Chain A
């Protein structure tokens, strides 16, 4: 639920009962005023009635004015009170009973007690009351509608800086170097929000950069100790006093050093890609790179007796860093060779805006979610470091390329789509 809708609902929930109460209260108050007015009129009439009282002989009904009636009759007792009340009288013109206000009072004249009853039609007052109440109600309802409409209209304007900030945050990508520029706002809360967000994002970027630099520095720092181990192994194996067992152990150490060093190189490459250290972009003919790499891997391909078929269009000129393009193609081809079966197939297609490489291999699809994760090893060959596809992914991410994986007809296919 949008905030403005929520607010309007809350206004309505509070406003409607309030308006109803207000209408009831004003109704009651106005009615009271009108009655008081009517009672005063009746009191005036009573004075008039008292004036004409001595002239009356018997009880009779006297019309004092057009809309009030007075009845004067002898009374058996006397009381000092004046009694007001509501009643109904028969209106001759309208030929129906109409509501009226009544006053009863006892008057002593010439030693005789008379009861004076005065009636005044409250038709007018009732109509007035109705009209006033209606008007008040309408005004309240109109104000309410106007208020809600204005809030609705203004909310979009007032919340604009918020939505602008939100939109920017949605675009936020930690791996991209540019920081978000939040719009200035005259509203204090939004200005504060933007300030807090800006400093938060700056810190995030800084930490991320430090983290990445740490990986790179750590990899660099590892190179020298590795070089020392390697150099000493080189010296050690020159010794003539080593037996076969010794050599085997040295071999194990050497292989391990080799593994660490290649892992380290790969991690370094990954962090360099992510640190955007491959900036320079040129037009690169992907098909040409594919051909070069295939000839470089000719030995491995023939050793595994793989059938390679290619459909290369040399019109594929994409703008990319040349080194990254080579690493990208190399990794994909290596991947297709390494995870292939003996006597399997590799198909490579390259069009103007795509490249596709499929290979036979495992007879079931790979789990797509884990495919590009670091250190995710294909089960078949344990000698891989599980970083090949992670590198592929980080290259495509910074090169405006999308990569997709399919498994159809027992073939694993990686498709690259080059965007302009």
Chain B
């Protein structure tokens, strides 16, 4: 899977590249408008992460260009502006998702994976982790071929873990994933604990393995390999 990261801030570019590289993606990057335009014109990418404010141009123009070429590339806007207008314009132009800075890399990773899955298989694909099978198109989860009944938050939580499997995800990242902007307005960590307890219980009761490890202090890790 090939990703193009268009971002002018070097430190952010480095971190995103490293994180996604560890996730098994091939990541190329461009730090200004011209380089981005060039790369987009020459190569095909599965997914493009594009910042709107770039040196010498706007990320929105790159989206326009891609769409003119009827490219099937998935596009995620990563912007510091977080303005509704930018979001609307970007999505209207054909971007698939909009992630305002500052974001969690686990969140970015999760969005990329969800987007790639939608693009590649029009959503018709099951995610299989040993005995757990998730069918995102019907929001269903089977453990050992038995359907388990998850609430929407538990489902989101499981999918987020699986997208970031074998990675440590912080409680704050989970809270933001589940509740968005309102995560910080409540005692979200307690709620995560409650949802997680229920999720684990439902999986283990259906004969599944408890993959979720608590990482002291910071968060959790959905471990499928040693």
Contact = CB atoms under 8 A, between A and B. Distances in A.
A82 B109 CA distance: 132
B190 A235 contact: no
Nearest to B10: A228
Interface string A225-247: 01111111111011000001001
A238 B167 contact: yes
B184 A231 contact: no
Nearest to A385: B184
A231 B12 contact: yes
Contacts of B83: 272, 277
A311 to B, nearest CB: 25
A244 B173 CA distance: 19
Name which of A237, A259, A297, A337 has the most chain B CB atoms within 10 A of its CB: A237
Contact of B15 (A220, A226, A228): A228
Nearest to B191: A299
B81 interface: yes
A323 interface: yes
Interface string B7-36: 001011001101100100000000000000
Interface residues of A, number: 45
Interface stretch (A112-120, A190-198, A248-256, A412-420): A248-256
A330 B218 contact: no
Interface in B182-211: 182, 184-187, 190-191, 194
Contacts of B81: 220
A231 B105 contact: yes
A224 interface: yes
Contacts of B57: none
A244 B85 CA distance: 43
B22 A227 contact: no
A303 B191 contact: yes
Interface string B91-128: 00000000011111110000000000000000000000
B47 to A, nearest CB: 17
A233 B170 CA distance: 9
Given A231-B16, A323-B84, A226 B218 contact: no
A100 to B, nearest CB: 106
A223 B100 contact: yes
A235 B82 contact: no
Contacts of A337: 186
B136 interface: no
Nearest to A335: B185
A268 interface: yes
A220 B102 CA distance: 10
B181 interface: yes
B82 A268 contact: yes
A265 to B, nearest CB: 7
Contact of A235 (B105, B172, B182, B218): B105
B216 A255 contact: no
A187 B81 CA distance: 50
Interface string B146-189: 00000000000000000000011010110000000110111100
A330 B101 CA distance: 23
Given A224-B9, A228-B9, A238-B22, A262 B184 contact: yes
B217 A248 contact: yes
B113 to A, nearest CB: 15
Given A226-B102, A238-B22, A254 B186 contact: no
A334 interface: yes
Contacts of A164: none
A130 B54 CA distance: 99
A289 to B, nearest CB: 14
Given A220-B80, A254-B172, A230 B218 contact: no
B77 to A, nearest CB: 13
A276 interface: no
Contact of A250 (B19, B100, B187, B217): B217
Contacts of B173: 234
A237 B215 contact: yes
Name which of A226, A228, A300, A337 has the most chain B CB atoms within 10 A of its CB: A228
Interface string B57-89: 000000000000000000000001111110000
B140 to A, nearest CB: 23
A258 B101 contact: no
Given A224-B101, A334-B185, A247 B216 contact: yes
Name which of A232, A244, A384 has the most chain B CB atoms within 10 A of its CB: A232
Contact of A224 (B80, B106, B168, B191): B80
A337 B187 CA distance: 11
Interface in A120-152: none
Given A223-B102, A228-B11, A244 B216 contact: yes
B172 A231 contact: no
Name which of A231, A248, A338, A384 has the most chain B CB atoms within 10 A of its CB: A231
Interface in A253-282: 254-255, 257-259, 261-262, 265, 268, 272, 277
Contact of B104 (A223, A230, A248): A230
Nearest to A221: B80
Contacts of A258: 172, 184
10 contacts: A224-B101, A227-B12, A233-B170, A235-B18, A235-B19, A235-B105, A237-B170, A250-B217, A255-B172, A299-B194
The 6 closest A-B pairs by CB, nearest first: A231-B15, A227-B102, A247-B217, A223-B80, A226-B102, A234-B105
Given A224-B12, A238-B167, A384-B185, 11 more contacts: A224-B9, A227-B80, A230-B102, A231-B16, A233-B170, A237-B168, A238-B168, A251-B218, A258-B172, A265-B181, A383-B187
Interface of B: 9, 11-12, 15-16, 18-19, 22, 80-85, 100-106, 167-168, 170, 172-173, 181-182, 184-187, 190-191, 194, 215-219
